C-alpha cells in the first residue's frame, strides 16, 4: 500500500476517536433537548428489487451550509467539513415513509439512523422512484430517491476515493488539504471516468445500475452526491460507513459485506468491479470472483501505485485469468474502456467518447 495513504489511514482513527469523545461528552445532555427542536431528515438513496426496497437515512439537527461554488475559500470549505463531521444526530424519532402507496415507519437509533423497508403489493417498475418521508409530530415532507433494479444487462460496483475522485494520495499534506478544504465543485474526477461510467450504465434500453462503496463516513453523503451530480457521473446507491466501530474496521470487511449483499439481492445479475491499487481492491475483488464464479465480467483497477510491478497483484491477475476474468490495471479510464468495448460492454462510439474525455478538455 502507498506509504502516504498508510499514514493517512493510521491518522484517521485518531480523528474519529476525538469526534466520538466529543459527541459522547454532550450526547446524554443534549439528546432530550434535541427532540424539542427543529429536526432535519437526511435520506440516503433507496435501492432494491421490484418486490423489496430498502431506504436508510438519518435524523439530525439542521446545519447551516451554503451551496458549494468553485470560488469558495478553503476556510469556508473546512468549516463545512467540520460541520458535517460534528453532526448532531437525534435518536428515538419515528420516521414514516410512503413509496407507491405503501406506508412504513421506523424509529431512529442512538446515532440518528433509521431504515425503512418497503414490500410493494405489486412489483415496482425498474428505474428511479421517489419516496415521501416525514417525522411524527413535525410538519413538512422530505423527498428521497429510490432506485429499483429491474431489467439490466449487468451491474457496476465502484469504489469512490482514488477510483472516481482524485485524492492526491502521493502527498499526505495535499491529500489532507484536498479532503478537508475542498467541496463538491472543487474536487476533481479522474479524466474520462464520467464518460466511462455513463457508457457502462447505458447499455441498450435497460439502464445498468451502479453502486458506490466507500470508506468515507455517511456524514459526507451530501458532498459525494453533489460531486457525482455536478460532474455528470451516473448516480446510484451509496454504501458508506459510520463513525465508530464501523469506520475503524478494516476497509475489506466493509466492502466484502456490501458486495455480498448486492450479489445475493440480485442473483441473476453479473457485475463489473472497479477499484484502485491504493487499497486492497485487487485482493477483495479476486476473492469475489472465486466466491461468485461466473458472475464477474471484468475487474478494472486504477493503477495509482505502480501495481503493475507488484508481484502479488500480478499473481492475482494470473489467477483471475485462469478463472476466465480479466483484471485490467490501467493508469487512466481509456484502457478500461478499450477492454469494455472488446467485451461488448460499451459501443465503439462510447469508447470514442471516453477517448475524447481523456485526451481533450477535462469534463466539467
Per the model's pLDDT, the better-predicted residue between 112 and 27 turns out to be 112
Residue 330's pLDDT is what?
Answer: 85
Mean of pLDDT values over 285-303 = 95
User: Does the pLDDT of residue 248 top 50, yes or no?
Assistant: no
Residue 315's pLDDT is what?
Answer: 87
Per the model's pLDDT, the better-predicted residue between 203 and 99 turns out to be 99
Least confident of 112-126, 159-173, 238-252: 238-252
Mean of pLDDT values over 66-93 = 72
Mean of pLDDT values over 245-274 = 83
Mean of pLDDT values over 315-322 = 91
Beta-sheet pairing, 94-99 with 102-107: antiparallel
Residue 83's pLDDT is what?
Answer: 72
Produce one character per residue of 85-106: b if its CB has 16 or more CB atoms within 10 Å, e if not: bebbbbbebebebbbbebebeb
pLDDT band at 287 (very low <50, low <70, confident <90, very high): very high
pLDDT band at 66 (very low <50, low <70, confident <90, very high): low
Cα–Cα distance for residue pair 198/283, rounded to 1 Å = 26
Mean of pLDDT values over 200-220 = 85
User: Does the pLDDT of residue 275 top 90, yes or no?
Assistant: yes
Produce one character per residue of 62-72: b if its CB has 16 or more CB atoms within 10 Å, e if not: eeebeebeeeb
Residue 362's pLDDT is what?
Answer: 55
Q: Give 35-148's CATH code, choosing from 2.70.98.90, 3.40.50.970, 2.60.40.10, 1.10.1750.10.
A: 2.60.40.10
Cα–Cα distance for residue pair 45/258, rounded to 1 Å = 15
The tally of CA atoms less than 13 A away on the side-chain side of residue 316 is 24
Instruction: Strands of the chain (E only): list them.
Output: 40-43, 46-49, 52-60, 94-99, 102-107, 113-118, 127-135, 142-148, 155-158, 210-217, 238-241, 271-276, 296-302, 326-330
Start-end of CATH 3.40.50.1000 domains in the chain: 155-359
Residue 126's pLDDT is what?
Answer: 92
What DSSP assignment string belongs to 23-69? Answer: HHHHHHHHHHHHTTS--EEEE--EEEETTEEEEEEEEE-----PPP-
Mean of pLDDT values over 127-141 = 91
| CATH number, domain 155-359 | 3.40.50.1000
Start-end of CATH 2.60.40.10 domains in the chain: 35-148
Q: What is the pLDDT of residues 9-21, one digit of tens each?
A: 666 666 666 666 6
Our separate counts of H helices and E strands in the chain read 11, 14
Q: What is the pLDDT of residues 150-202, one digit of tens each?
A: 889 999 999 998 899 877 654 555 555 566 655 556 667 788 999 999 999 98
Cα–Cα distance for residue pair 138/150, rounded to 1 Å = 35
Q: Are the C-beta atoms of 108 and 91 separated by less than 8 Å? A: yes
Mean of pLDDT values over 302-311 = 74
Neighbour count for residue 340 (Cβ, 10 Å): 24
Least confident of 133-147, 165-179, 207-221, 280-294: 165-179
Residue 29's pLDDT is what?
Answer: 52
Per the model's pLDDT, the better-predicted residue between 244 and 212 turns out to be 212
Amino acid at each position: 500500500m502507498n506509504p502516504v495513504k498508510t499514514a493517512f489511514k493510521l491518522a484517521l482513527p485518531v480523528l474519529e476517536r476525538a469526534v466520538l469523545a466529543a459527541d459522547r461528552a454532550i450526547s446524554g445532555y443534549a439528546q432530550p433537548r434535541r427532540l424539542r427542536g427543529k429536526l432535519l431528515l437526511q435520506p440516503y438513496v433507496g435501492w432494491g428489487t421490484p418486490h423489496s426496497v430498502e431506504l436508510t437515512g438519518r435524523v439530525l439537527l439542521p446545519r447551516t451550509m451554503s451551496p458549494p461554488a468553485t470560488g469558495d475559500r478553503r476556510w469556508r470549505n473546512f468549516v463545512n467539513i467540520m460541520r458535517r463531521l460534528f453532526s448532531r444526530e437525534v435518536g428515538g424519532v419515528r420516521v414514516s415513509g410512503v413509496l407507491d402507496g405503501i406506508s412504513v415507519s421506523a424509529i431512529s437509533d442512538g446515532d440518528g439512523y433509521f431504515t425503512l423497508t418497503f414490500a410493494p403489493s405489486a412489483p415496482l417498475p425498474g428505474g428511479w422512484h421517489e419516496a415521501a418521508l416525514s417525522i411524527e409530530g413535525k410538519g413538512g415532507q422530505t423527498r428521497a430517491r429510490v432506485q429499483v433494479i429491474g431489467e439490466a444487462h449487468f451491474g457496476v460496483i465502484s469504489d469512490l476515493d482514488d477510483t472516481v475522485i482524485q485524492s492526491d494520495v502521493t502527498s499526505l499534506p495535499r491529500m489532507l488539504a484536498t479532503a478537508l478544504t475542498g467541496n463538491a465543485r472543487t474536487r476533481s474526477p479522474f479524466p474520462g471516468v464520467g464518460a466511462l461510467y455513463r457508457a457502462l450504465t447505458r447499455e441498450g434500453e435497460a439502464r445498468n445500475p451502479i453502486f458506490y462503496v466507500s470508506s468515507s463516513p455517511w456524514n459526507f453523503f451530501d458532498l459525494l452526491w453533489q460531486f457525482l451530480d455536478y460532474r455528470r457521473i451516473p448516480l446510484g446507491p451509496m454504501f458508506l460507513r459510520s463513525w465508530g466501530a464501523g469506520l475503524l474496521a478494516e476497509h475489506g470487511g466493509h466492502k466484502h459485506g456490501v458486495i455480498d449483499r448486492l450479489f445475493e439481492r440480485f442473483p441473476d445479475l453479473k457485475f463489473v468491479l472497479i477499484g484502485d491499487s491504493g487499497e486492497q481492491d485487487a485482493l477483495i475483488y479476486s476473492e469475489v470472483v472465486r466466491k461468485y464464479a461466473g458472475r464477474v465480467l471484468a475487474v478494472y483497477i486504477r493503477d495509482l501505485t505502480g501495481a503493475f510491478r507488484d508481484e502479488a497483484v500480478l499473481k492475482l491477475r494470473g489467477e483471475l485469468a485462469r478463472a476466465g476474468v480479466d483484471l485490467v490495471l490501467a493508469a487512466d479510464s481509456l484502457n478500461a474502456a478499450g477492454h469494455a468495448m472488446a467485451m461488448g460492454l460499451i459501443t465503439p462510439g462510447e469508447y470514442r467518447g471516453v477517448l475524447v474525455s481523456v485526451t481533450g478538455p477535462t469534463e466539467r
